[in-house]
């Protein structure tokens, strides 16, 4: 009878030992390791992005009560490098003590530093930081901070733009327009509850409090943003870019009151999960970048304590191509802060059926992949990402004949340049972001890989492929978790 008793004791000891080892927060199976997520619960649109005294502020739509949309508050985090984030207490709560799922909850908006104390709200030595937001069905409102964004007060004369029951006005974005010497607010609206008039309105102000309507442009839906960018990085050639909620954009001119398009509306992302883009305000001139982030809308995170993630921050620019001026997006250079020791290859000629997998030694669930591929006689080439032991994974493929880059059932046409296709890939535990030809085409998608699938397979079919350059870096967790 001793043997079964010993077995029972061993079984129970093993059971309780495993129960004492819960999964660490921020190290769960599908937890992104270098993309922003809250510790728990639902989040969506990025809000209130600004830079002040060495800190990048990120706010976001947040439900503190569960994994579903609703009961919107503004979550808050800060970073000194746009990579590592410190979570701060909730910044904005629903107005009028609302307990409703939607009424008077804190919908999307923007952040702005009142450098000259135009509002007169500054108390003390710190500049006043303003948050413009939509109190759903309760008007456009203002909150402010006098302690570097640590605590927030609601403006006592809210709303600054009253609610109109014949309209669906929300998601204000505010900036200074140098040419007209005034502040501008871009606001999504649906005047007269007319779906055909869904679009963006432009308001102006001298004091950031009183706003005057100037013009309306139909054809947009939610979360507008308007930024000025140099073309080919020339300071004497600039254009304005107006973004829609899905990241699509128009290029044109803006006189402080009216936007005049000179391009068709174009997509800025061809992936499955990309929405509610917003750029940081008050970036120092010494930096000079326009930095954008988006919510990866529709992503699934089975079994996780959180729902949703942000894209990795991108730098925006405009570039002239033969077909016209286009928006270009690239991951910010700070990604290199997370590089582990990687692998590099140069001038490797791959022949189908002869060469073994060039990247067979790569085993990691988070990667930064940078490569230049000379298409010789290949019909197609690409990667199988998060490859498991049964040779299953997520395929990223370029079809040479159709000039189509495909991944996660999404595709985009991209022309090689002098026979070379450039690819940059950010692979996290639950997302794939692909930047082709220096960001001319971008595809951002969430995915659910197989557990313990950490392989990488570079393939080509039908003919030869020259790998001019390939660098693969494991990406260190921003939570300093040992893998």
CA nearest to 131, candidates 159, 165, 154: 154
Contacts 24+ apart (CB under 8 A), 87-92: 87/38, 87/39, 88/149, 88/150, 90/62, 90/64, 91/48, 91/59, 91/131, 91/143, 91/149, 91/152, 92/59, 92/131, 92/133, 92/143, 92/152
> CA torsion 40→42→48→51, rounded to 10°?
30
> What's the CA gap between 257 and 241, in Å, rounded?
15
Neighbours of 162 (CB within 10 A): 10
> What's the CA gap between 340 and 473, in Å, rounded?
6
237 is catalytic: no
Here the tokens at position 308 are 């949703």
Residues in a beta bridge with 417: 420
Q: Which helix (H) or strand (E) holds 15?
A: helix 2-19
Here the tokens at position 85 are 């984030």
- Whether the link from the prior residue into 159 is cis, omega within 30° of 0, is yes
> What's the CA gap between 53 and 67, in Å, rounded?
34
> What's the CA gap between 28 and 38, in Å, rounded?
13
Catalytic residue (one of 20, 27, 45, 244): 45
In sign, the C-alpha dihedral spanning 151, 154, 160, 163 is positive
| Residue 297 near residue 275, CB atoms below 8 Å | yes
Strands 140-145 and 128-135: antiparallel
Q: Tokens 């004791």 appear where?
A: 9
Q: How far apart are the first and last CA of the chain?
A: 43
DSSP code string of 373-385:
EEESS-SEEEEEE
DSSP code string of 386-420:
EE-TTS--EEEEEETTTTEEEETTEEEE---BTTE
> What's the CA gap between 328 and 182, in Å, rounded?
28
| Residue 468 near residue 461, CB atoms below 8 Å | no
Residues designated as active site: 45
């Amino acid at each position: 009878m001793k043997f079964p008793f010993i077995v029972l004791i061993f079984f129970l000891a093993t059971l309780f030992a495993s129960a004492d080892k819960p999964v660490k927060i921020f190290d769960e199976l599908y937890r992104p390791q270098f993309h922003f997520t809250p510790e728990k619960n639902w989040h969506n649109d990025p809000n209130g992005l600004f830079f002040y005294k060495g800190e990048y502020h990120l706010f976001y739509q947040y439900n503190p009560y569960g994994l579903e949309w609703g009961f919107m508050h503004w979550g808050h985090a800060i970073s000194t490098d746009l990579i590592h984030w410190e979570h701060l207490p909730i910044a904005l709560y629903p107005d009028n003590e609302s307990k409703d799922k939607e009424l008077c909850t804190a919908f999307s908006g923007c952040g702005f530093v009142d450098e000259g104390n135009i509002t007169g709200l500054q108390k003390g030595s710190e500049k006043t930081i303003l948050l413009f937001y939509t109190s759903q069905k309760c008007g456009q409102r203002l909150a402010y901070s006098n302690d570097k964004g640590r605590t927030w007060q609601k403006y006592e004369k809210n709303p600054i733009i009253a609610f109109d029951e014949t309209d669906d006005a929300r998601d204000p974005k505010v900036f200074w327009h140098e040419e007209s010497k005034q502040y501008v607010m871009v606001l999504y609206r649906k005047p007269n509850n007319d779906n055909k008039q869904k679009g963006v309105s432009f308001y102006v102000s001298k004091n950031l409090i009183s706003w005057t309507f100037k013009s309306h442009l139909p054809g947009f839906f939610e979360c507008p943003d308007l930024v000025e960018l140099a073309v080919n990085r020339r300071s004497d050639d600039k254009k304005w870019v107006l973004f829609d909620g899905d990241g699509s954009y128009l290029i044109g001119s803006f006189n402080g009151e009216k936007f005049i398009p000179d391009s068709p509306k174009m997509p800025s992302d061809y992936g499955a999960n990309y929405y509610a883009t917003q750029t940081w305000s008050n970036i120092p001139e010494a930096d000079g970048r326009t930095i954008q982030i988006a919510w990866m809308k529709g992503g699934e995170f089975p079994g996780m304590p959180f729902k949703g993630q942000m894209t990795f921050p991108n730098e925006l620019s405009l570039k002239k191509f033969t077909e016209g001026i286009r928006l270009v997006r690239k991951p910010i250079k700070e990604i290199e802060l997370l590089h582990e020791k990687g692998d590099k290859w140069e001038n490797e000629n791959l022949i189908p059926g002869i060469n073994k997998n060039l990247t067979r030694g790569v085993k990691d669930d988070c990667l930064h992949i940078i490569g230049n591929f000379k298409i010789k006689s290949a019909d197609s080439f690409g990667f199988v990402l998060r490859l498991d032991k049964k040779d299953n994974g997520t395929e990223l493929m370029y079809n040479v004949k159709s000039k189509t880059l495909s991944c996660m059932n999404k595709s985009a046409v991209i022309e090689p340049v002098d026979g070379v296709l450039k690819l940059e890939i950010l692979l996290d535990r639950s997302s794939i972001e692909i930047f082709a030809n220096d960001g001319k085409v971008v595809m951002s998608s969430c995915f659910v890989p197989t557990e313990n699938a950490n392989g990488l397979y570079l393939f080509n079919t039908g003919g030869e492929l020259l790998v001019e350059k390939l660098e693969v870096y494991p990406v260190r967790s921003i939570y300093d978790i040992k893998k």
